[in-house]
C-alpha cells in the first residue's frame, strides 16, 4: 500500500545570474514514497502556484535518466543519496519521514547559476566543439563492417560513451575539474580505430579548452567516479593522460 512521508525542504533560490541567492524553507506533507524527487518538486511548485508565488526553476527533461538535463545537489551529493541514478530517477523512498532535505544547484566556477537551481553548462558543449569528434563528413565512408573491432574494445568504448554530460563529476570535485567528462570522450574515441588517428590532437585540444574555461585540475580524489550516475570509470582519465602526454611529446 502507498506510504507517505512529511519532509522539510531547504531550497536555494536565486533570481538571476547576478542576484544574491539564499535558502528558503518549505514544508511538504503526505508525499508518496513512490513519487520521484522531481515529482515531489512538481507538487511543491503546484502549491506555490496556488499561493500565487513564483515556482522553483530547475532543469529536467527526459525523466528517465538519459538526457543529462537534471542536476541538483541534494544533501551534499550530486543527484542525491541513491547510487547510480540521476535526480529524475531518485525516488522519495530513499528519504525518511520528518527528514530535512537541502537542495542546491551545481556549484562550480564552470557552471554559473542562471536562476534558482538551473545552471549554465554550455562550457561542456564548447569542450566537445574543441575536438570531441571524429573528423568525417556525411557520405563517402567505408562499409560498417570493413574494419573489425574487438568486442572488448567496443564494449570499453561503449562504457566511456555512456557519459550523459550532466556535470555531476564537476559538481562533486573539490577542484571543479571536468577531467572525467573530457576523459570519457577522449577514451571512447581513442579506443576505436575510427577515432584513434586524431586521438592525441583531440586530447590536447579538449584539455586546453577545459583549462581555458576555468575548470580546475585533477588531483585523483575519485569523487567524480563515485558520484557519476553512469559509473564512468576514472581509468579513462589515465588513458586521457597518456594521449595528452603523447601530444605534448610531439610538440
Partner 1 sequence: MTQINSKIPQGPLAQKWSNYKASQKLVNPANKRRLDIIVVGTGLAGASAAASLGELGFNVLNFCIQDSPRRAHSIAAQGGINAAKNYPNDGDSVFRLFYDTIKGGDYRAREANVYRLAEVSNSIIDQCVAQGVPFAREYGGLLDNRSFGGAQVSRTFYAKGQTGQQLLLGAYSALSRQISKGSVKLHTRYEMMDVVVIDGKARGIIARNLRTGRLERFFAHAVVIATGGYGNTFFLSTNAMGSNGSAAMQCFRKGAYFANPCYAQIHPTCIPVHGEFQSKLTLMSESLRNDGRIWVPKKKEDAEAIRAGKMKPTQIPEDERDYYLERRYPAFGNLVPRDVASRAAKERCDAGYGVGATGLAVYLDFSEVINRLGRDVVEARYGNLFQMYYKIVDEDPYTTPMMIYPAIHYTMGGIWVDYECMTSIEGLFAIGEANFSDHGANRLGASALMQGLADGYFVLPYTIQNYLADEIRTPRMSTELPEFAETEGAVQSRIQKIMAIKGNRSVDSIHKQLGLIMWDFVGMSRTKESLQKALDAIIQVKHEFWTNVFIPGESEDLNVELEKALRVSDFIEIGELMARDALHREESCGGHFRLEYQTGDGEALRDDENFSYVACWKYEGDGKEPSLLKEPLIYESVHMQQRNYK
Residues from 219 through 248 that contact partner 1 (CB under 8 A): none
C-alpha–C-alpha distance, residues 81 and 208, integer Å: 33
The yes or no reply on residue 202 touching partner 1 (CB under 8 A) is: no
Query: How many whole angstroms separate alpha carbon 194 and alpha carbon 189?
Result: 7
DSSP letters spanning 143-208: -TTSS---HHHHHHHHHHHT-----HHHHH-TT---HHHHHHHHHHHHHSHHHHTTHHHHHHHHHH
Question: Considering the rule CB under 8 A, would residue 38 count as an interface residue with partner 1?
Answer: yes
Beta carbons within 10 angstroms of residue 159's beta carbon: 19
Contacts of 120 (CB under 8 A, 6+ apart): 17, 111, 112, 113, 114
Q: How far is the CB of 228 from partner 1 (least distance, A)?
A: 14
Stretch that binds partner 1, among 43-51, 170-178, 219-227, 232-240 (CB under 8 A): 43-51
Any idea what DSSP says for residue 135? -
Our finding on whether 18 is near partner 1 (CB under 8 A) is no
80 binds partner 1 (CB under 8 A): no
Could you say which of 3, 19, 81, 84 contacts partner 1 (CB under 8 A)?
Answer: 84
What residues numbered 102-141 form the site for partner 1, per CB under 8 A?
Answer: 114-115, 118, 120-122, 124-125, 128-130, 132-139, 141
DSSP state, 82?
S
Tell me which of 6, 8, 27, 46 binds partner 1, using CB under 8 A.
46
Shortest distance, CB of residue 57 to partner 1, whole angstroms? 6
- Asked if 192 touches partner 1 (CB under 8 A), the answer is yes
CA distance 8 to 11: 10
CB of 221 to partner 1, least distance (A): 26
Draw the binding track, 50-79, toward partner 1 (x: CB under 8 A; -: no contact): x-xxxx-x-xxxxxxxxxxx----------
CB of 204 to partner 1, least distance (A): 15
**Cell numbers that stand for 145 in this block:** 563492417
In the bound state with partner 1, the residue whose beta carbon lies nearer, of 48 and 102, is 48
Strands 118-119, 113-115: pairing kind: antiparallel
Q: Quick one: 84 or 97, whose CB is closer to partner 1? A: 84
Which part of the chain contacts partner 1 (CB under 8 A), choosing from 6-14, 101-109, 153-161, 173-181? 153-161
Burial category of 97 from C-beta neighbours within 10 Å (exposed 0-12, middle 13-18, buried 19 and up): exposed
Tell me the three state secondary structure of residue 242: helix
Amino acid at each position: 500500500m502507498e506510504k507517505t512521508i512529511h519532509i522539510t525542504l531547504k531550497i536555494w533560490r536565486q533570481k538571476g545570474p547576478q542576484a544574491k541567492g539564499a535558502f528558503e524553507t518549505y514544508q511538504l506533507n503526505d508525499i508518496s514514497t513512490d513519487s520521484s524527487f522531481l515529482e515531489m518538486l512538481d507538487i511543491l511548485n503546484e502549491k506555490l502556484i496556488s499561493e500565487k508565488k513564483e515556482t522553483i526553476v530547475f532543469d529536467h527533461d527526459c525523466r528517465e535518466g538519459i538526457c543529462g538535463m537534471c542536476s541538483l545537489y541534494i544533501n551534499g551529493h550530486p543527484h542525491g543519496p541513491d547510487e547510480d541514478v540521476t535526480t529524475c530517477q531518485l525516488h522519495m523512498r530513499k528519504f525518511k519521514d520528518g527528514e530535512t532535505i537541502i537542495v542546491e544547484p551545481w556549484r562550480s566556477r564552470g557552471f554559473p547559476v542562471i536562476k534558482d537551481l538551473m545552471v549554465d553548462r554550455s562550457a561542456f558543449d564548447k569542450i566537445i566543439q574543441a575536438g570531441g569528434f571524429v573528423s568525417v563528413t556525411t557520405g563517402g565512408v567505408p562499409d560498417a563492417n570493413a574494419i573489425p573491432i574487438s568486442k572488448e574494445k567496443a564494449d570499453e568504448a561503449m562504457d566511456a560513451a555512456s557519459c550523459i554530460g550532466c556535470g555531476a563529476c564537476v559538481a562533486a570535485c573539490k577542484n571543479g575539474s571536468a577531467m572525467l567528462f573530457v576523459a570519457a570522450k577522449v577514451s571512447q574515441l581513442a579506443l576505436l580505430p575510427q577515432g584513434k588517428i586524431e586521438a592525441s590532437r583531440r586530447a590536447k585540444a579538449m584539455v586546453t579548452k577545459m583549462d581555458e574555461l576555468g575548470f580546475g585540475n585533477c588531483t585523483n580524489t575519485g569523487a567524480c567516479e563515485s558520484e557519476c550516475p553512469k559509473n564512468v570509470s576514472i581509468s579513462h582519465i589515465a588513458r586521457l593522460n597518456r594521449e595528452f602526454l603523447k601530444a605534448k611529446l610531439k610538440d
